[in-house]
Amino acid sequence: MRKLFVLGAAAMMTLPSVLSADTAPRDVAFADDGSVAESLTGVAGDPTAGLENATSRGIGNCVACHVAEGWKDAAFPGNVGPALTGIANVYDESQLRGILVNSKKTFEGTVMPSFYNLDDIIRPGDAYTGKAATSPDVTILTAQQIEDLIALLLTFDEPLPE
Ligand code: HEC
């Protein structure tokens, strides 16, 4: 009986954001310039987790489109988007949060994915069925993964490349 209780508690802790205080994707408040002032989680981001995420092909995959001094050892970075070296000198925390949550609010029509948005992303399945994919309410990244990436980008405060 006691063991069952412990297992139950462990299972609950691994449940996704439903039980946490994360701001839901459709409740994020954007300013007119596309920035998002308030943390999505209220928990400070972890730049180490952010780096892991940014350079992992399976998760954030920022490296597919951006080079950055902060991940200069990453294999085959792409250059579809601008270099992120020195990006902390260009945007503040709330602007970076806006770009990551929904890039389209800052850069109209951009190919950069909207990482914490349910309505502005192309879902796998569309091309296959030719119909709108039934949308499971899942964002590309979690609220905490967004905060971790912001924390990482804020460390990219080296001088801007010429
Ligand atoms: C499919 C390619 C693609 C991916 C993947 C991508 N981006 Fe972008 N990103 C872009 C493009 C293109 C722009 C330029 C905006 C535009 O379209 O005008 C951009 C712009 C940005 C900017 C603003 C740069 C500037 O100089 O104005 C930041 C910051 C950024 N991306 C961060 C990220 C992060 C962090 C990730 C990973 C979570 C990521 N991007 C993933 C394509 C991408």
Q: Is residue 126 part of a domain?
A: yes
Give the distance from CA 62 to its chain's centroid. 9
Indicate which atom in ligand 1 lies nearest the CA of residue 83.
26
Q: Which residue has the tokens 């439903």?
A: 18
Mean pLDDT of 99-107: 97
68 contacts: CB under 8 Å, gap ≥ 6: 54, 62, 77, 83, 84, 85, 87, 156
Q: Is residue 32 part of a domain?
A: yes
66 vs 13 pLDDT, higher one:
66
Contact 30, 100 (CB under 8 A): no
Site to substitute for ligand 1 among 55, 66, 116, 117, most atoms within 8 A of C-beta:
66
pLDDT of residue 20: 66
**Rounded to the nearest whole angstrom, what is the distance from the C-alpha of residue 65 to the centroid of ligand 1?**
7
45 vs 14 pLDDT, higher one:
45
CATH number, domain with residue 111: 1.10.760.10
Q: Is residue 87 part of a domain?
A: yes
Q: Is the CB of 156 under 6 A from ligand 1?
A: no
pLDDT of residue 121: 61
Q: Is residue 91 part of a domain?
A: yes
For the chain, how many residues are written? 162
Contact 66, 48 (CB under 8 A): no
pTM for the model: 0.85
Q: Is residue 71 part of a domain?
A: no
Which domain does 28 fall in, by range?
21-46+83-153
Q: Is residue 122 part of a domain?
A: yes
Confidence of residue 28 (pLDDT cuts 50, 70, 90): very high
| pLDDT tens-digit readout, 2-17 | 555 555 554 455 555 4
**Rounded to the nearest whole angstrom, what is the distance from the C-alpha of residue 112 to the centroid of ligand 1?**
5
Q: Is residue 93 part of a domain?
A: yes
pLDDT of residue 131: 64
**Domain count within the chain:** 1
